[in-house]
Amino acid sequence: MLSSLTIAQAHDKLKRKEISCEELTQSCIDRIEHVDEKIHAVVYRNFGSALNKAKKIDSEGEFPHPLTGIPFLVKDTFSEKGIPTTACSNILRNKDYIPPFESTVTNRLKDVGAISMGKTNTDEFTMGGSTETSCYGSTHNPWNLSRTPGGSSGGSAAGTTSDQCLFALGTDTGGSIRQPAGFCNCTGLRCTYGRNSRYGVMSMASSLDTIGPLCKTVEDATLVLSVIAGKDPYDPTTSDVPVPDSSKILTQNIKGMRIGIAKEYFTEGMQTDVKNAVADAIRTFEELGASTEDISLPHTQYSVAAYYIICPCEVSSNMARYDGIRYGHTILRHGSLIDYYERVRSEGFGPEVKRRIMIGTYALSAGYFDAYYRQAQKVRTLIQRDFLEAFTKVDVILSPVSPNIAFPIGAHDGDPVAMYLEDVFLCSQPMAGIPALSIPCGFSSENMPIGLQIMGPQWGEEVILKTGHAYQQATDWHRKKPSL
């Protein structure tokens, strides 16, 4: 099955003319049509246009870039000109929002000839850790259909793992790339805040939102990053720090690398299989010539609480634009303008979005600002300092992605705090703006994937990708596929 190739393998075959771009794209389409009824990763299919582009590339016969002719899927929050994009929310779905412009990153991918095939499922406006809050219903984990794929980029993770595409794009605000990558057995990269342009990607929490790839290997993530990264005049938070150099990532070994292990990431309630798999991974790194050191990140325990103040505050502001005037849902009968706003928003937004808007509105309201928002921002400073200090002693920090394997669909219904705590190891890195990689490192006794997180310093994508690549050269976990 051609759709199971990695980007690097497919590029090689395309270049040698062993396969055509049309065959490769058709293979992904066949796979989506064959398995996605069960998984529900893809919420919009753009197959006609994808096949036309594939044929055009074949007729030109040139594959100058590793991503030329490579089919991919995009989370439903990335604007593509002329393609319905709804953030899996009824507020944009009911009158299919069709963006009149293109996001910078999809533009950059299309410029080198990558082929967009459709949109993947996400929690509504990326708010959630399971894809259950999507207006289209949950995605199912390819390893066990009764479990969630994680979220919010659950569609992108499940789609990549089940070979419906060669790679997918996702967003990570508080774990939304790393957690589903860990739950589904693919490679997910949260980049340094400011590494990739967010122009044309729907905002959730602007001081934390990042975008990144979900791939089959670290090598592929490196190839995608080299295209999407870099300064964009349309996103003033992007930096002109040099884009990571893939040749440095993919050739060097990790002998002498200093790996930090923080006790705060090995908590009591953690599943034994997860603990053991991560311990095995640490031994693998030692065998590869790295040294390990115990470190402490003392404010880790406050990261989820700080996140669930800062994020909802920014949500309450970002969601104000959905007012039924410029785009999206509308109602026929209404009174005043205020009545119109209230009813459009109440019908259009789902419960998790409403919860976050209300928490943020409350925390920012008169009399509560200092107690909540200001205090959370100060704790954010302390979390950032923890990492700055740790990275004076070590090059990377290893931890599990999640304390447990993927939970059953519906397990956290009516208990938002339990859902938030699924991201207990994933909220600190966004606070500090640092990059982190999620890669497969084993399976539980139920045959569910376990993820390993590799954190690096700000702008340290090269070192975490190099570490992840070395691990994937020595192990086979990332090659394991679910039977569907």
Partner 1 sequence: MSLVPDDIRHIAKLARLHISDKEVKRYTKELSSILTYVDKLKEVDTRNVEPTTQVTGLRNVFREDEVRPSDTAPEACIETSPLPIMDRQIQTPSAHG
If one asks whether residue 256 binds partner 1 (CB under 8 A), the answer comes out as no
* Residue 1 interacting with partner 1 (CB under 8 A): no
Q: What are phi and psi of 290, to 5 degrees?
A: -85, 155
Supply the minimum distance, in Å, between the C-beta of residue 374 and partner 1. 6
- Kind plus residue range of the DSSP H or E element containing 71: strand 71-75
- 70 within 8 A of 5, measured Cβ to Cβ: no
- 399-431 in b/e form (b: 16+ CB < 10 A) is bbbbbbbbbebeebeeebeebbbbbbbbbbbbb
From candidates 248, 283, 374, 479, binder to partner 1 by CB under 8 A: 374
Does 101 bind partner 1 (CB under 8 A)? Our answer is yes
∠ CA 177-431-354, rounded to 5°: 70
Q: Give the residue, chosen from 245, 253, 276, 320, that forms a contact with partner 1 under the rule CB under 8 A.
A: 320
Least distance from partner 1 to the Cβ atom of residue 63, Å = 26
Residue in 237, 267, 284, 475 binding partner 1, rule: CB under 8 A: 237
CB of 449 to partner 1, least distance (A): 28
One of 79, 138, 162, 176 is an active-site residue; which one? 176
Sheet holding 449-455, edge to edge: 42-45, 115-120, 71-75, 167-172, 210-215, 187-190, 436-443, 449-455, 396-400, 258-262, 291-295
* 307 three-class SS: helix
Count of CB atoms situated within 10 Å of the CB of 380: 24
Among 309, 406, 439, 454, interactor with partner 1 by CB under 8 A: 309
110 binds partner 1 (CB under 8 A): no
Tell me how crowded residue 315 is: count the other CB atoms within 10 A of its CB. 27
Footprint on residues 265-304 left by partner 1 (CB under 8 A): 299, 301-302, 304
Return the DSSP state at 204.
Answer: S
Residue choice 325, 389, 474, 479 for contact with partner 1 (CB under 8 A): 325
Q: Any catalytic annotation for residue 75? A: yes
Q: Which of 79, 89, 152, 203 is catalytic?
A: 152
In 3-state terms, what secondary structure has residue 5?
coil
Piece of 115-123, 167-175, 222-230, 372-380 that binds partner 1 (CB under 8 A) = 372-380
Q: Does residue 103 carry a catalytic annotation? A: no
Is residue 49 flagged as an active site residue? Answer: no
**Burial class for 298, CB neighbours closer than 10 Å (0-12, 13-18, 19+):** middle
> Where in 350-369 is the site for partner 1 (CB under 8 A)?
351, 354-355, 357-359, 361-362, 365
Please pick, from the candidates 93, 108, 140, 345, the single residue that binds partner 1 as defined by CB under 8 A: 345
- Active site members: 75, 152, 176
